[in-house]
Every structure is written in C-alpha cells, then in structure tokens.
Amino acid sequence: AATAEALLSHAAAIQTEAFSLSQFDADLTDTGFINVTLMKSNKTVAIPKGQSILSSLEQQGIKPNHGCRMGICNKCACNKAQGATRNLLNGAANQEPTQLLKICVNSAQSDLVIDL
Ligand code: FES
C-alpha cells in the first residue's frame, strides 16, 4: 500500500507540473516581442506584445490605413492569415486563421502573418 500511495502522490505531482507548464505555454503575458509578417509589403517586423498592432507598426515607420483607432470604422481591418491576437477592448483571444483583424484594437499574442 505504501508503494501505491507513493506512486499516487508522484502522479499527482506530475499532473500539477504538467498543468503549470501548459499554463505557461498559453502565455497570456504582455511582455516580449512578436514577429509580424506583412505579406503585401513583404516585410517582417518585431512588435511588442500587448500593444495595438496599428500603433506598433506605426512606431516602425509603417503606415497602415486607419480611421477611428477605436475599433469602429473598420478602415484598419486586414486579413490575418495566421497567428493569435487579443482584442484590447474585451480581452477576447483569437487564434483562428483567416480572420478579418482590426489592427487598431488588437494586440499580437503569437507570431502573425497579415495581409498588409
Ligand atoms: S481604425 Fe477604425 S476600426 Fe481600426
């Protein structure tokens, strides 16, 4: 019985560890940089996580189309081919490929490929 107990507690420890690792993998922190590949411009730039993609690109000297900067006018929307983003207004994460992305109100959470 002692052995079984030891095994069980060992298994529990492994599970706890796996859980915290997967938490880490989800990586919802807002630090670090993300590579954004701009397909039309044929460029890849590194932008900080957790900031609007639009303003981050502007800081790199890129001037995407935009209007309101508030997620209303849709002028900044471009196609995202792949990558995870997070809506800065409501915190919603999006990892689906081929989505229309409003770059003024979304931040990059993983490397992105967008049609810009
Ligand atoms: S600039 Fe208006 S929705 Fe993004």
Residue 69 Cα: closest atom of ligand 1: 1
Residue 9 domain-assigned (yes or no) = no
pLDDT tens column, 43-71? 999 999 999 999 999 999 999 999 999 99
Q: Which domain holds residue 67?
A: 33-114
Q: Are 105 and 68 in contact (CB under 8 A)?
A: no
What is the chain's Cα-based Rg? 19
Report the number of distinct structural domains present in the chain.
1
Kindly list the averaged pLDDT for each block of 10 residues, start to end, along the chain of length 116: 67 56 52 94 95 96 97 97 96 92 96 96
* Residue 94 counted as domain residue: yes
Regarding the beta carbon of 59 and ligand 1, being less than 6 Å apart is answered no
Closest approach atom of ligand 1 to CA 76? 4
CA 95 / ligand 1 centre spacing (Å): 20
CATH of the domain at 69: 3.10.20.30
The verdict on residue 17 lying in a domain is no
Query: Would you say residue 92 lies in a domain?
Result: yes
Whether 89 is in the pocket of ligand 1, judged by its Cβ within 6 Å, is no
